[in-house]
Structure 1
Amino acid sequence: MSREDWAFDLAMAKAAKIDGFAMNIAAGDPNTDAVLAAAYSAAEAVGDFKMFLSFDYLSMGAWGIDQVINKINQYKSSPAQFRYDSKPLVSTFEGVSNIGDWSGIKSATGCFFIPDWSSLGPAGFASHLDTADGAFSWDAWPEGAEDKTTEADEQWTNMLSGKPFMMPVSPWFYTNMPNWHKNWLWRGDNLWHDRWQQVIRLQPAMVQILTWNDFGESSYIGPIHQGSVPEGAEYVVDMPHEAWLKFLPHYIDTYKAGSSTTFPFNSLVASPEEGITFWYKRNPGKSGDNGGTTGNNPAQGQPALAPELVSQDIIFVCALVAEPSDVIVSIGGAGTSLRATHSGINHFSVTLDGRTGVVDFKIQRNEREIISATGPEITNSCKNGLVNWNAFVGSS
């Protein structure tokens, strides 16, 4: 990504009320220095947008102590550096074999250290509270044909005994990248809306969205730049996700207000507009070859399930309304009528029941159409005969 690409993305994220980016960086990646320079420079220019370094210990091996110290010290004085408790915040992706490095790193940098050591679990992490200043968990998706609960988040919070917890939120997960030996999905479905309700209820110190631009794992909420899709990830082409940003300011404002489990229409966000956000798979689960994809990741010890049991054939809809309204979802001309009962965001799911075709959405009030939107057709005709388990996300 060029500096201009970064400026575009940062402006989009800031407009959605995201406060900053966690910069996941791998040891030995020759692009890291150029990327960090461009990204931090763009953040400084856009203003009031923060960055912090997250050292990835898995994708290209472990980081050396001096490498970590030098990177932190290089950027910690940037006006764009995110600080917590007046210290530059630093995180990781795993790195449990290098926990002993961090006492010296913290002394040499003065950083506030919130690692992701999710593989330890809360019980294993508890013995390292003298090193870590808080914890970040990568546990953002449910296992199997279940919806995500807050059980793990509560375990992390209780284990930390008052130290800050960075809670993960993600909308989706599907990856099929043979070169990385990755081919599984976890349930997304209602996750984006449900997870924000959980955030609002639990009130963690921080929230990290997974992710802005991990296209290979279908968890992205940012724009797809030319050339940014990994080789082999055809399931990302023509499958935008940035409409998930549309109502994000409402979720974020409600979380930061800390006083409500609803999403009011006009009390938090300036100049709200009624609208619709929707997402769904364009191929029903049994419309083609599943591509060898499993529900769950057996490499993590999870039981492999048929992917269609995990990723349901359902259309997911959020409607933001000023007052109670009717929401009409039509698939191939066959409609389903729903009732938005309250002002704010109302969330629905509509089962396909074998229907295919173009998907139309309407908000009606007093028999008058207020908002409409159209999504691409749901089809049993799969590209290359393979079901695309990624989501199409659109909005009015």
Structure 2
Amino acid sequence: MITKALPAVLTIASLAVLQVQAAKEVFAHLIVGNVNKFTLSDWEDDMRLAREANIDGFALNIAAQDESNEASLELAFGAAGKLGGDFSLFFSFDYLAQGPWPADRVEALVKKYAADPAYFKPDGRRPLVSTFEGPDNAGDWPGIKAATDAFFVPDWSSLPPTEAAVREGGVADGLLSFDAWPVGATNITTKGDEAFQAALGTGENKKVYMMSVAPWFFTNLPKFGELGGEDGQNGGKNWLWRGDGLWDLRWKQVAEVVRPDYVEILTWNDFGESHYIGPVRDKELGLFASGGAPVNYAQGMSHDGWRRFLPFYVDVYKTGKVPEEVGEEGVMAYYRTAPALACPSGGTVGNSKARGQSEMKPEELVEDSVFYAALLNSDDGVTVEVSIGGKKLTGGFDSVPTAGAGTPGVYTGSVPFGDKTGEVVVAVLRDGKTIATAEGGRKISSQCENNVQNWNAVAM
């Protein structure tokens, strides 16, 4: 694990305009409906793993008709209390999964838990409350805010930022964007983030911006509607967005370009959309049966590797500086476990038609490659060796830290795996001596379960 303490820092040379900020909070979006079988110990384990990754708390996504909410919330706040104020929670009311929330029930939940020491209050007084969508219910929020003194930061990404910012007379105190994935085969830019920031104003009247970061996206749940709910509309949820190179790029955008007030990681445990970074437990995977998935595409598909460098990413975001030494050097890797054309696509398309995007073939969005990232003090004398089924390939770095080669930070690259199958091992060597390895993920194979392509990735 990378050490969290970073006493010595080096300003990024090419980021002179980046001002040192007070520490900003980073949260992970957690789907409460997926943890209805959790014990108190499970909650404690997940919170411990999140804190080790430098995450400050969970945004608790709760659906209106989920009968497990009450028990799960009691356990969540109980577990957070055991951390002695070192982990925060706040509500994200989901207005799509099971329909909109009645205003009186929102008020009741916020009033019940806002006094808990673990509930996140940005100014020490007002409880932060968020949503997943729900702009059609914006008229409820003046009353909810008056009753609860909530600091309201919804995700109304279905609206243009200029409209969301002034909805119901500007009832929101800030906005969360769920725009964390690129559309098509090109990398994501910060254009969308900058549009949110512009809509939220400047100076004393500036409202807060919560930026989203995600590592991946793939879903194939035929019984779930593409825009939420369980009606299977539009052929259900079955699409892919490009995740190649996304995680490191997005964190660079957080720290170097956007510098938002808050960051929300999408997600801790949304296994149905393949963008989880928390551990995969069988007890959380019931949605694959209820959603009619042709294959359980999260089981055995660890994403733990995407947490590995979070302490570094988050510290750079919070301080505005890169450490003179990164602590323990390391490497992580991620890849899909079958060539794109090895099996039928499962009806998966690239992009989401329901979101007004032009559909593409999924193989046009992703590469048959092993991607890797190395956290290094310097790349001097460093080489990368990728072994697939015992066959060794030599890799290099396509991206270096902003300050340039030879400086501390994250270096990234990839190698095509072509028709090679077997166990994947990525080793980083300096002057011929191995300094870090990433291994233990599911093997690459040309055989697909149920003859359906699994577009999810393994991150180790």
Q: TM-score, normalised by structure 2?
A: 0.81
Structure 2: gaps spanning 5 or more residues: 1-37, 225-235
Could you tell me how far 1:22 is from its partner in structure 2? 0.3
Partner of 1:168: 212
Please identify runs of 4+ aligned residues in structure 1 that moved more than 4 A.
Answer: none
C-alpha distance in 1 between matches for 2:370 and 2:299: 20
Which residue of 168, 177, 181 corresponds with 2:221? 177
- Cα distance, 1:376–1:264 mapped onto 2, change above 3 Å: farther
C-alpha distance in 1 between matches for 2:435 and 2:180: 35
C-alpha distance in 1 between matches for 2:46 and 2:375: 25
CA contact (8 A) 2:335 2:459 kept: yes
Deviations along 1:177-231, whole A, 9 cap, x unmatched? 1111111111111111110000001110000000000011111000112321122
Partner of 1:114: 153
Aligned pairs (5 A) from 1:1-396:
1-47=38-84, 48-86=86-124, 87-128=126-167, 130-161=170-201, 162-180=206-224, 181-201=236-256, 202-229=258-285, 230=287, 231=289, 232=293, 234-259=296-321, 263-264=322-323, 266=325, 272-324=327-379, 325-332=382-389, 333-338=391-396, 341-342=405-406, 343-374=408-439, 375-394=441-460
CA contact (8 A) 1:167 1:207 kept: yes
Q: Which secondary structure does the structure 2 equivalent of 1:235 belong to? A: coil
Q: Which secondary structure does the structure 2 equivalent of 1:196 belong to? A: helix
Deviations along 1:278-297, whole A, 9 cap, x unmatched? 00001111111000001011
The letter of the residue matching 2:387 is S
CA contact (8 A) 2:131 2:155 kept: yes
CA contact (8 A) 2:121 2:128 kept: yes
CA contact (8 A) 2:300 2:442 kept: no
Q: Which secondary structure does the structure 2 equivalent of 1:118 belong to? A: coil
CA contact (8 A) 1:176 1:293 kept: yes
CA contact (8 A) 1:265 1:344 kept: no
CA contact (8 A) 1:239 1:392 kept: yes
Identity among equivalent pairs (%):
45
CA contact (8 A) 1:264 1:345 kept: no
Could you tell me how far 1:266 is from its partner in structure 2? 2.5
Deviations along 1:254-298, whole A, 9 cap, x unmatched? 000124xxx54636xxxx222111000011111110000010111
The letter of the residue matching 2:334 is W
C-alpha distance in 1 between matches for 2:330 and 2:435: 9
Q: Which secondary structure does the structure 1 equivalent of 2:260 belong to? A: coil
C-alpha distance in 2 between matches for 1:109 and 1:300: 33
Aligned residues: 387
The letter of the residue matching 1:390 is N
Could you tell me how far 1:85 is from its partner in structure 2? 2.4
C-alpha distance in 1 between matches for 2:88 and 2:377: 33
Partner of 2:4: none
Deviates more, 1:360-369 or 1:237-246: 360-369
Computed over aligned residues only, the root mean square deviation of the Cα atoms, in angstroms, reads: 1.5
C-alpha distance in 2 between matches for 1:353 and 1:265: 38
The letter of the residue matching 2:346 is G
CA contact (8 A) 2:393 2:415 kept: no
The letter of the residue matching 1:134 is G
Deviations along 1:73-101, whole A, 9 cap, x unmatched? 00001010001123110001111111011
Structure 1: gaps spanning 5 or more residues: none
CA contact (8 A) 1:359 1:377 kept: yes
Q: TM-score, normalised by structure 1?
A: 0.94
The letter of the residue matching 1:130 is G
Q: Which secondary structure does the structure 1 equivalent of 2:80 belong to? A: helix
Higher RCO (C-alpha under 8 Å, 6+ residues apart): 2
CA contact (8 A) 1:85 1:112 kept: no
The letter of the residue matching 1:345 is V
C-alpha distance in 2 between matches for 1:195 and 1:323: 22
CA contact (8 A) 1:168 1:208 kept: yes
Deviations along 1:234-267, whole A, 9 cap, x unmatched? 11111011221111000000000124xxx54636
Q: Which secondary structure does the structure 2 equivalent of 1:249 belong to? A: helix
Could you tell me how far 1:306 is from its partner in structure 2? 0.5
C-alpha distance in 2 between matches for 1:171 and 1:291: 22
